[in-house]
């Protein structure tokens, strides 16, 4: 049975025998909802490559402490995968964030594409971004990741062009492309950017701009996937040809 994972701000300098305190909402959920008990084994992670395991030493109303038994540090996975996700309608955005986090992407970039049905402005933008970030955090704990993904601020199309220009490999998913994603050579290190368009599809101007910046226009297959699941399929196809899944 997998041990529960809880996120803490930092584990810098922590060694076996130290006691680490977890406070706030993270502790409240563990103690009040999960009924965490003294002596129970848990895993703590800082989301930046370090995790510790040990028994719960004490619990309180919104706090618990863990005595560290083991400390594990992991290098960041490479190649690093960034997914530019056009804003989907409804709750499909959270679905996309959840599955992309579970599969191991390093960063998710919400993108206001020309044909995006959803619009993030004002208070709605603040709430939607917070929800995406919360979804990523919880999915990362569920997936037992030691490196948590970041969810960037809402990107414009010029922002996406800049990301593509700086990438070691960038692909744009497009059902009209004749280049199969399976034929692309994936770098062993560096950054891979995957651009996923909205329900209404990409405009010619967007595709032309991305290709001019260095992106490859690719297709997954004959089927047309939803925007909320296309990124998952593409990242899985890419990672299957890297040492990360080797």
The 10s digit of each residue's pLDDT in 116-130 is: 989 999 999 999 999
Same-domain pairing of 118 and 231? yes
pLDDT of 19 over the 70 cut: yes
Tell me the pLDDT tens digit for each residue of 72-120.
999 999 999 999 999 998 899 999 999 999 999 999 999 999 999 899 9
Looking at every residue in the chain, the average pLDDT score rounds to 96
Spatial separation of the C-alpha atoms in residues 56 and 36, rounded to whole Å? 8
Q: What percentage of the chain has pLDDT greater than the value 70?
A: 100
Q: How many Cβ atoms from other residues are within 10 Å of residue 67's Cβ?
A: 15
pLDDT of 43 over the 70 cut: yes
- Classify residue 82 as exposed, middle or buried by CB count within 10 Å of its CB (0-12, 13-18, 19+): buried
Report pTM: 0.94
Residue after which a domain boundary falls, among 73, 94, 121: 73
CA angle 202, 203, 205 (to 5 degrees): 130
Residue after which a domain boundary falls, among 73, 99, 132: 73
> 84: domain range?
80-245
Q: Determine if the peptide bond prior to 67 is cis (ω within 30°).
A: no
Tell me the pLDDT tens digit for each residue of 159-213.
999 999 999 999 999 988 999 999 999 999 999 999 999 999 999 999 999 999 9
Same-domain pairing of 186 and 215? yes
Tell which phi-psi region holds residue 209, choosing left (phi > 0), alpha (psi between -120 and 50) or beta: alpha
Residue 185, helix vs strand vs coil: coil
> What's the pLDDT at 90?
84
> What's the pLDDT at 1?
66
Residue after which a domain boundary falls, among 31, 57, 73: 73
Residue 6 vs residues 19, 42, 63, 213: alpha-carbon distances, Å: 15, 8, 12, 40
Same-domain pairing of 206 and 144? yes
Residue 140 vs residues 40, 48, 76, 104, 137: alpha-carbon distances, Å: 21, 12, 14, 9, 5
Same-domain pairing of 53 and 31? yes
> What's the pLDDT at 2?
83
Please give the helix or strand (H or E) that residue 173 lies within, else none.
Answer: strand 169-173
The mean pLDDT of 20-40, rounded to a whole number, is 94
What is the total residue count of the chain?
246
């Amino acid at each position: 049975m997998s041990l529960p994972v809880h996120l803490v701000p930092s584990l810098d300098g922590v060694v076996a025998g130290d006691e680490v305190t977890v406070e706030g909402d993270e502790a409240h959920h563990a103690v009040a909802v999960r009924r965490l008990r003294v002596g129970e084994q848990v895993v703590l992670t800082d989301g930046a490559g370090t995790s510790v395991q040990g028994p719960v030493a004490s619990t309180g109303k919104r706090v618990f402490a863990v005595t560290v038994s083991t400390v594990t540090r992991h290098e960041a996975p490479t190649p690093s995968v960034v997914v530019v996700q056009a804003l989907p309608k409804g709750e499909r955005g959270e679905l996309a964030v959840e599955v992309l986090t579970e599969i191991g992407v390093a960063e998710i970039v919400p993108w206001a594409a020309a044909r995006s049905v959803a619009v993030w402005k004002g208070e709605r933008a603040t709430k939607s971004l917070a929800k995406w970030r919360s979804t990523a955090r919880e999915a990362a704990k569920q997936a037992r990741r030691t490196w948590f993904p970041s969810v960037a601020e809402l990107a414009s199309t010029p922002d996406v062009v800049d990301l593509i220009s700086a990438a070691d490999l960038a692909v744009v998913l497009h059902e009209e492309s004749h280049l199969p994603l399976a034929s692309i050579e994936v770098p062993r290190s560096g950054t891979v950017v995957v651009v996923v368009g909205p329900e209404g599809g990409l405009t010619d101007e967007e595709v032309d701009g991305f290709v001019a910046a260095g992106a490859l226009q690719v297709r997954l297959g004959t089927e047309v996937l939803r925007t909320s699941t296309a990124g998952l399929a593409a990242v899985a196809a890419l990672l299957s040809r890297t040492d990360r899944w080797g």
